[in-house]
Amino acid sequence: MSLRPPRDSDAPARRVIVVVLDGLRADLVGDPRFPTLAAMARESAHTLDATTVLPSVTAAAMTSLLTGVTPAMHGMDSDRFRFPTPRIALEPLPRLIAEHGLPTFGALAQVPWLFRPLARRIVGALGMRDVVFGGASAHSLLAASLPVVRHERQGLVLLHWPEADALGHAHGWCTPPYLAAVQRMDHALGVLRRELAAHDDGRTLLIALADHGGGGRVPRHHDSAHPLDCTIPIFLEGAGARAMTLAPTHSLLDVPATVLWALGIARPASYAGTPITAPFAHAARIGGPVPALAVA
């Protein structure tokens, strides 16, 4: 284990919960059929104009989220399930957090039994200490993570909810099955918010985002530079973040940098993104770059 500087004691959060709303199109936020997303657009720091990485596929985006670098650097440049060959020495987000003595937990969709050893190997290489592979729905994955959410008040909790993406591929984005999956994901997100409102101590930062959109150039896919495929929402709530509309210049790569900043951990030079600090009144005191001026 490499030596790491101590965490900043003035960091705004003790815990960060990251929820990946797989395949959620940003243009659905505000639709009354999805009341939790509409509420977060009113009550959180958010942007509906952020961008994901290219290729705009889950494997590439999730690896960027967990390593802080682009697909060109981490080597996961397709949606094929494999162990990537990075072009630089990676400093994965979970490993950095664990090296500062904080727990890391992930609730991820179940993978076919043939690929489970590889999945465990990949997760281990990223430094995720505790992982549950269970179910494919937002509600089943949330249920698997609630014991940790309720009892572990430090570190990183990563939840990946893939149901909407799966039904987008099967039926097309914005079809009734896809929209029903978004409704279930929206409801699960509401359950999580209520859980935090009832029991959190105010030191949890909730970050919800999509990894990509979908239905841009191809109705049942999202691997393109089309705006409907590449535009994603990002929401930040809790730990003192004020409700505001963030500048439309952020990307998925800013999220891992924000997680580290919120926990008071130095961001490696390899990380391509910058922390989203504008919603935090004490950002200037803690330090870290403030992004382009946001519109309240």
Query: What residue spans define the domains of the chain?
Result: 15-286
pLDDT digits (tens, 9 = 90+) for 154-173: 999 999 999 999 999 999 99
pLDDT at 293: 28
214 half-sphere exposure, CB direction, 13 A CA radius: 29
Q: Identify the CA nearest to 246 among candidates 282, 285, 207, 213.
A: 207
In degrees, to the nearest 5, what angle opens at C-alpha 41 toward C-alphas 94 and 294?
80
Sign for the CA dihedral angle at 193, 197, 199, 202 comes to: positive
Locate 119 and state its tokens. Answer: 């999945």
pLDDT at 208: 98
pLDDT at 235: 98
pLDDT at 286: 43
Q: Say if residues 103 and 130 touch (Cβ distance below 8 Å).
A: yes
Which fold does the domain 15-286 belong to in CATH? Alkaline Phosphatase, subunit A (3.40.720)
Residue 5's region, left for phi above 0, alpha for psi from -120 to 50, else beta, is beta
Q: Say if residues 160 and 108 touch (Cβ distance below 8 Å).
A: yes
Enumerate helices (H) and strands (E) in the chain, giving the number of each: 11, 8
In degrees, to the nearest 5, what angle opens at C-alpha 211 toward C-alphas 207 and 214?
135
Residues in the chain, pLDDT under 70: 1-3, 81-83, 110-116, 118-119, 282-296
Q: Identify the CA nearest to 44 among candidates 265, 202, 236, 284.
A: 236
Sign for the CA dihedral angle at 58, 60, 65, 66 comes to: positive
